[in-house]
Amino acid sequence: MRGRLNLSLLEIRNVAKSFGAIRAVNGFSLTIEAGEVLGLMGDNGAGKSTMVKLIAGNFPPTEGEILVEGKVCHFHRPLQARAMGIEVVYQDLALADNLTASQNVFLGRELKKVLWPFRILHKQAMIDRSGELFAELKSETRPRDLVRKMSGGQRQAVAIARTRLAQAKLVLMDEPTASISVRQVAQVLELIQRMKARGVAVMLISHRMPDVFAVSDRIIVMRRGGKVADKLTAETSPEEITGLITGAIRAA
């Protein structure tokens, strides 16, 4: 057992979450290792969003445990999850349109320098560092460009660069390819590959079957709040996954 010797990056044990009488997630277990790309699929209302929010720290689970590197973590706020190296790239990317790429990357954790008696923004350092991050992601995004004027793929790069800055160990990506052009989808999938190459675990929540099959190592299917499949991508097919999502195939 690998988990005994070498603690998993994230381990979810029998987690359940209820909102009043509604049980959104029920008996969900999962482990993620560093550098693994995981596809999380499921129909609307299957409990994917709730699962993402549990991991991202929006609320703690009703039952069960979430372990980050072997430590039981029950987050109440996203900032706590972030402190443990878990970052989320939201579907709307959570970028401020009126700021530049580098300003967005460093939003909330700006670098400062001392100009006695003040501590002022260290703009050049932030521009240089975000330039490095974009180079690392091999993105064409320029640090000084306004996000308002960027393409969907460039915006994704900004949101992902933000997680790189934080040295995130696990990045949750909520529908990153839902509303962008085909060419940009390819860019985003490449970005995911690069994160994987750097040992970052990625959890990709998506409706787009081809994208999930293109990048993920493993695919998890959720239905009615529970896990119905956890299969290596190489050992399954889009047909099987579709069947699992709709319930045509009960479990695998």
Partner 1 sequence: MPPDTEYSAAEHAHIADVVHLTEATWLRSIWTSQPFWVTVALLILVVVMSLTEPSFGTADNAANITRNFAPFGIMALGMTIVIITGGIDLSVGSIMGLVAIVAGLFLTWEYPWYVAFSMGLLAGLLCGAINGFFVAYVGMPSFVVTLGMLAIARSLAVVFSQNQMLYKFGPDAPTVKAIGQFKWPLRVGSGGWAPDWMPEFSGQFWTMIVLGLIVGSVFIFSGWARHLFAIGGNENAARLTGVPVNRIKWQAYVFCSFCASIASILQLGYNGSAINALGTGYELRVIAASVIGGADLIGGAGSAYGAIIGSALLEVIRNALLMAGIDSNWQGAFVGAFIVIAVLLGMQMGGKSIIAAAWERLRTRK
Tokens linked to 190:
């490449």
> Rule CB under 8 A: which of 156-175 touch partner 1?
162
> Rule CB under 8 A: which of 129-158 touch partner 1?
131, 135-136, 138, 140, 142-144, 149
Q: What's the closest the beta carbon of residue 57 comes to partner 1, in angstroms?
A: 11
76 binds partner 1, rule: CB under 8 A:
no
Q: How many residues bind partner 1 (CB under 8 A)?
A: 32
DSSP letters spanning 43-75: -TTSSHHHHHHHHHTSS--SEEEEEETTEE---
124 binds partner 1, rule: CB under 8 A:
no
SS3 assignment for 143-171: CCCEHHHCCHHHHHHHHHHHHHHCCCCEE
Task: In whole angstroms, give the CA distance from residue 80 to residue 47.
Answer: 22
Q: Which of 74, 76, 109, 250 binds partner 1 (CB under 8 A)?
A: 109
Tokens linked to 59:
């609320």
Q: Which stretch binds partner 1 (CB under 8 A): 4-12, 38-46, 91-99, 235-243?
A: 91-99
Q: What's the closest the beta carbon of residue 110 comes to partner 1, in angstroms?
A: 5
The closest of 73, 56, 59 to 8, measured between CA atoms, is 73
Residue with tokens 């690392």: 136
Q: Which of 45, 72, 74, 120 binds partner 1 (CB under 8 A)?
A: 120
| CB-based burial label for 65 (10 Å; 0-12, 13-18, 19+) | middle
Of 63 and 132, nearer to partner 1 (C-beta) is: 132
Enumerate binding residues for partner 1 (CB under 8 A): 78-79, 82, 90, 92-99, 103, 107-110, 112, 115, 118, 120-121, 131, 135-136, 138, 140, 142-144, 149, 162
